[in-house]
Structure 1
Amino acid sequence: MLNFTMSGELIAFFIFAALMIGGAVLMVTLEKVVHMVVSMAVVFIGLGAMYVLLEAEFVAFVQVLIYGGAVSILMIFGIMMTKHGSEGSERPRPLYETLIAIGALSLFGLLFYAIRTTTFPQPAQFHPGEDNTMALGELLFTEYIVPFELVSILLTVAFIGAIVLARKGE
């Protein structure tokens, strides 16, 4: 029925998929917020590895740099700078957990059925020798230089505004 040949790429895919699923499950089930952020960073880094398997090196680099690093650190700083008490730390009731499990399994079954019955179009020819990072960089710094610089200015202004707002709290 199904013929799978194990290759290094397929083994790497399953390892990274298991890493991402494990990180996502830990993100939902852990109690401490800092541990949740670390498991979320594991998911982000695993997603970057998936992009490497797809030969999208630039997107993988941005994923690891921005999400795996910057967003995770930003969330940890946000957690450390805010006050949170232990009110609302009660565990959900067993009926509630059972309904959540039934809903998750139903969603999984629906998605599995939809993916198995869908006919996907054949992908376009892929040329593995192309350097997509170089082409993206040339396009970014020639045709799209003005939006690129505007985004960098906007991010700088947002960063300075966040510092000003944090200083007002003192």
Structure 2
Amino acid sequence: MLDNLLTFMSSGENLVFFVFALMAICGAIFMISLTRVVHMVVALSLTFLALGGIYITLDAEFVGWVQVLIYAGAITILMVFGIMMTRHHGEAEEEPNRPWHNGLLLVGALGLFGILFYAIQNAAIKPSGEPIQAKDNTLQIGQLLFNQYVIPFEIMSVLLTVAFIGAIVVAKREED
């Protein structure tokens, strides 16, 4: 079982994938365990950047760069602006002291990791043939998006505009 892991880690591409996956997991864990909202947004941004790196290592460059530009850039900045523009009353309450909580959490996480590691190592996955390598997948995505899927693309843009206007209306009501 350990031989499979060493074989997997011998490739540079797999090692980079593993580092990005570890960064994404750590960022997600920090996001749900930190108490300050700004720190949570920074951890979420780390997760978004790591996911963009994972997409790029999987030869999905368009999705990777969209992940970095939209999520790690625009959404994170939007969250920081939202935090800065809202009022915060008082400090957060301290959590009660639970000494067994972190220990049980660690045991559960390690158990889950062990089960997943065992299941992945013993899975019999057969390749489906030759991998499809596109010369320019961004061009193909653009042609599909603006030819075959232009109506859903436009409907989505209208939906996002309506959601943005609705968020402004709700924020304005709270202010009054």
d(CA) in 2 for partners of 1:31, 1:52? 31
Structure 2 counterpart of 1:13: 17
Which secondary structure state, in structure 2, belongs to the residue aligned with residue 169 of structure 1? Answer: helix
Where in structure 2 are the equivalents of 1:52-131 lying within 5 Å? 52-80=56-84, 81-128=86-133, 130-131=135-136
> How many Å apart are 1:92 and its aligned residue?
4.4
Aligned CA RMSD, in angstroms, stands at 2.3
Structure 2 counterpart of 1:161: 166
Task: Classify 1:169/1:31 alpha carbon distance in 2 versus 1 (closer, same or farther; 3 Å).
Answer: closer
Structure 1 counterpart of 2:35: 31
1:86 maps to a residue whose letter is E
> How many Å apart are 1:107 and its aligned residue?
1.1
d(CA) in 2 for partners of 1:76, 1:131? 35
Structure 1 residues without counterparts, runs of 5 or longer:
none
> How many Å apart are 1:8 and its aligned residue?
4.2
d(CA) in 2 for partners of 1:112, 1:135? 36
Which secondary structure state, in structure 1, belongs to the residue aligned with residue 43 of structure 2? Answer: helix
> How many Å apart are 1:82 and its aligned residue?
4.6
Task: Classify 1:17/1:152 alpha carbon distance in 2 versus 1 (closer, same or farther; 3 Å).
Answer: same
1:98 maps to a residue whose letter is G
d(CA) in 2 for partners of 1:53, 1:107? 26
2:77 maps to a residue whose letter is I
Structure 2 residues without counterparts, runs of 5 or longer:
none
Equivalenced residue count is 170
2:62 maps to a residue whose letter is F
Structure 2 counterpart of 1:43: 47
Using the size of structure 2 for normalisation, the TM-score is 0.82
1:66-117 CA deviation, whole Å, 9 max, x = no partner? Answer: 2212322232233331535334322541112222122111111111111111
Task: Classify 1:104/1:14 alpha carbon distance in 2 versus 1 (closer, same or farther; 3 Å).
Answer: closer
d(CA) in 1 for partners of 2:152, 2:87? 34
1:111-146 CA deviation, whole Å, 9 max, x = no partner? Answer: 111111111121431244521111111011111101
Identity of aligned residues (%): 49
